[in-house]
Amino acid sequence: MIELFFQYLVAGLTYGTIYASVGIGFNIIYNTTGIINFAQGEFVMLGGMTAVTLHAFLPLPLAILGAVLITMIIGGLIEVAFIRWLVKPSVLRMIVITIGISILIREGALAVWGEGVRSLPYFTGNEVSALSLGGVRVSPQVLWSIGVCTVIVVLLNLFFKFTMLGREMRACAANREAAALCGIPTRNIVTFSFVLSAGIGALAGCVVSPITYTQYNVGTGLAIKGFTVAILGGLGNSMAAVGAGFILGILESFSIWVLPTAYKDAISIAILLAMLFVRPSGLFGNKEAMKLKDF
């Protein structure tokens, strides 16, 4: 029984790390622009797809590095082409533009890679290997993704706290006009936030690819989950997104234990919504901070 409990917990952690690593990316762009970038899931897909393609002739680490760089460039180009030159765009306008971008990237990926399913090889071991921790079995790739997710969160926190660029981004997040008045190049900061979140999305896409597989249309599903945890955690806070990711994953996993799996999504989302009603500014969000942002 206790063994079963831990096995479900491991499953929940697996789901959670996938959701969390997608969710983090949402926050960076939200912080500098106040919008949810619906194309974030597509960055995850692009990362995975590009890495698989590059892996055909490059060793795995280089392929991943290349994929992250290429996706970062794409992220930057998208911002320059579609967002940068807009004057005081409304939030809804930006959201609809990102929805459009997401659709175009997906269709582009279909044209380039076709409808087939691909995946990177397991970083350690293969499809059947697993570590046994007292009867509970964990795939090494799950540990890889938890590890990478942790490293990303730690590095992001350090970056925002201790580097000049990071501080400028936070200034942008707090008040864009004031930041501009202080001589911070806010436009470049926004571009950089797209580059950064594209890179993080791509890295997440590479790490989870052996577990989840990559197909041209995985972005939407991942984005919906990532969006859910990013908001439920409380927007603008990467740690909160990770926390909410794990909560959602564990809820899903344990709902399967007792109820038909077909209702997994309904149950986990219903519980999360109930939590949201009690804490309308996100599970770990700050009420005062929320008031500063508007829709």
Partner 1 sequence: MRILKLIAVAACILALSVAPALAAGTIKIGAILAVTGPASFLGAPEAKTLEMMAEDINAKGGIEGKKVELVIKDSGGSPEKAVSFAKQLIDEDKVFAIIGPSTSGETMKIKDIAEQGKTILLSCAAAEAIVNPVAKYVFKTPQKDSDAVIRIFRQMKKMGITKIGVLSSNTGFGNAGKQQIEKLAPEHGIQIVLSEVYNSSATDLTAEVTKIKAAKVQAIVNWSIEPAQAIVIKNARQMGLTIPIFQSHGFGNIKYVQAAGAAADGVIFPAGRLLVADTLSDKNPQKKVLESYKKEYEAKYKEDVSTFGGHAYDAMKIMQQAIIATGVVDEEKVRTTIENMKGLVGTAGIFNFSPTDHNGLDANAFEMLTVKDGKFAVLEK
Partner 2 sequence: MRTSRYTPAFALLVVIAVIQLLTLVSGKAFYLTQLTMAAYYSLIVIGLCLLMGFAGQISLGHAGFFAIGGYTSAVLTTLDLSAYKDRALVALLTKLHILVSRQDLYGGITLCFHPWVAFVAAVLLALGVAWAIGIPVLRLRGHYLAMATLGFGTIIYSIVLGTQRFGAADVISSVPPFPLGFGMSVSGETALRVPNYYIAWGLVTVVMVLSTNLIHSRVGRALRSIHGAEDAASAMGVDTARFKLYTFMLSAVLAAVAGVFLTHYNGGIGPSEAGVMKSVRYVAIVAVGGMGSIWGTLIMSVVLNFCSLRGYFGSYDDAVFGAILIVIMLFAPDGIIGSDLRRLVKMVMLKFKSSHGDTEAPRKA
For the CB of residue 246, give the shortest distance to partner 2 in the complex, in Å.
Answer: 18
Binding mask 102-131 for partner 2 (x = CB under 8 A): xxx-xxx-----------------------
Residues 162-165: contacts with CB under 8 Å, at least 24 apart: 165/189, 165/192
Which listed residue (56, 117, 164, 274) binds partner 1 by CB under 8 A?
A: 117
294 binds, among partner 2, partner 1, none (CB under 5 to 8 A by kind): partner 2
Which residues have a Cβ under 8 Å from the Cβ of 79 and sit 6 or more positions away?
A: 190, 191, 194, 195
Which of positions 151-170 make contact with partner 1 (CB under 8 A)?
none
For 125, 128, 133, 214, the CA distances from 121, given in Å and listed in that order, are 9, 12, 23, 12
Q: With beta carbons less than 8 A apart as the criterion, state whether 18 and 224 touch.
A: no
Positions in 54-113 near partner 1 (CB under 8 A): 107, 110
Alpha-carbon separation of residue 25 from 43, 125, 138, 233 (angstroms): 9, 28, 26, 13
Q: Of the ranges 58-66, 89-97, 178-186, 206-214, which one interacts with partner 2 (CB under 8 A)?
A: 89-97
187 contributes a contact to partner 1 by CB under 8 A: no
Touching partner 2, residues 202-241 (CB under 8 A): 220, 224, 227-228, 231-232, 235
273 binds, among partner 2, partner 1, none (CB under 5 to 8 A by kind): partner 2
Q: Which residue type does 27 have?
A: N
Phi and psi dihedrals of 281, rounded to 5?
A: -105, 25
> What is the distance between the alpha carbons of residues 214 and 216, in angstroms, rounded to a whole number?
7
Q: Ramachandran region of residue 135, left (φ > 0), alpha (ψ -120 to 50) or beta?
A: left
Retrieve residue 7's tokens: 């096995």
Would you say how long the chain is, in residues? 295
Contacting residues toward partner 2, per CB under 8 A: 30, 36, 38, 82, 86, 89-93, 96-97, 99-104, 106-108, 220, 224, 227-228, 231-232, 235, 260, 262-266, 269-270, 272-273, 276-277, 280-282, 290, 293-295
Contacting residues toward partner 1, per CB under 8 A: 4, 7-8, 10-12, 14-15, 18, 107, 110, 114-119, 121, 126-130, 132, 137, 139, 208, 211-213, 215, 217-218, 221-222, 252-254, 256-257, 260-262, 264-265
